[in-house]
């Protein structure tokens, strides 16, 4: 059931999301300028970013054949 373009899109989205989330998780205190001990705030930013990435993925995954809307 999985086609080559579907696997390509899934792998690309996985690499994109994991890269963004790991950067925010480990360097979020530098990027946002908060104290490293405020991990709750950094985790909130990571979660909100994860939700936005999922919304973007929902719109991106609608078309599987490479055509435009």
Of the candidates 41, 13, 18, the residue with the CA atom closest to the CA atom of residue 29: 41
Per-residue confidence (pLDDT) for residue 64, from 0 to 100:
61
Would you write out the chain's pLDDT as a tens digit for each of its 69 residues?
A: 777 877 888 898 899 999 999 999 999 888 888 887 788 899 999 999 999 999 988 877 776 666 655
Q: Rounded to 5 degrees, what are φ and ψ at 57? A: -65, -35
What is the Cα–Cα distance from 29 to 33, expressed in whole angstroms?
5
Residue 23: its pLDDT value, please? 95
Give the Cα separation of 64 and 2 in Å (integer). Answer: 11
The alpha helices in the chain, defined as continuous H runs, are: 4-31, 39-60
């Amino acid at each position: 059931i999985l086609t080559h373009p579907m696997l390509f899109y899934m792998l690309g989205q996985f690499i994109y999301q994991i890269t963004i989330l790991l950067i925010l998780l480990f360097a979020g205190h530098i990027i946002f300028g908060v104290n490293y001990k405020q991990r709750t705030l950094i985790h909130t930013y990571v979660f909100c970013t994860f939700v936005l990435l999922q919304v973007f993925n929902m719109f991106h995954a609608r078309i599987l054949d490479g055509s435009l809307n």
